[in-house]
Amino acid sequence: MTDTLFYKNTDLSDDYAEITKSFVSNTFDYYDVMNSNVRIKHQPSNGVDCFYVEAMQYGYNGCYVGTQVNYGKYNNFEDAVSCARNISHQCAV
C-alpha cells in the first residue's frame, strides 16, 4: 500500500507547466489545469494509483448551478494529463 506515488507524497505536476497541485489530503490530491475548470483527482485504490479527470460545468437558471462531469479513470498521470488537456482545449473553443 505504501508503494504508491500517492503515499510517497510525490508532486506529479513538476514536469507540466499548466498543471498545479492545488489540494492535498490523506485520501486524495487535486491537480488543476490552468485557465480551466478541469482537474485531475489522484487517489489510491486497492494499492494502485488512480487518476480521475473531472470538470465542473456551471449554468445559470436564476442562480448558478454546478455539475461535476467525469471524463475517465487512468492508471498513470501522463494519460490523465493528456485527457485533461484535450478537455480544457475543447472547453476553450
41, 52 in Cβ contact below 8 A? yes
For residue 9, the model assigns a pLDDT of: 83
> In a 10 Å sphere around its CB, with 0-12 CB exposed, 13-18 middle and 19+ buried, how is residue 14 labelled?
exposed
Phi-psi region of 47 (alpha: psi -120 to 50; beta: other; left: phi over 0): left
- Which band of pLDDT confidence, cut at 50, 70 and 90, is reported for residue 76? very high
> In a 10 Å sphere around its CB, with 0-12 CB exposed, 13-18 middle and 19+ buried, how is residue 9 labelled?
exposed
For residue 2, the model assigns a pLDDT of: 60
pLDDT tens digits along 16-39: 999 999 999 999 999 999 988 999
Inter-CA distances, 30 with 17, 38, 63, 67, Å: 16, 10, 27, 17
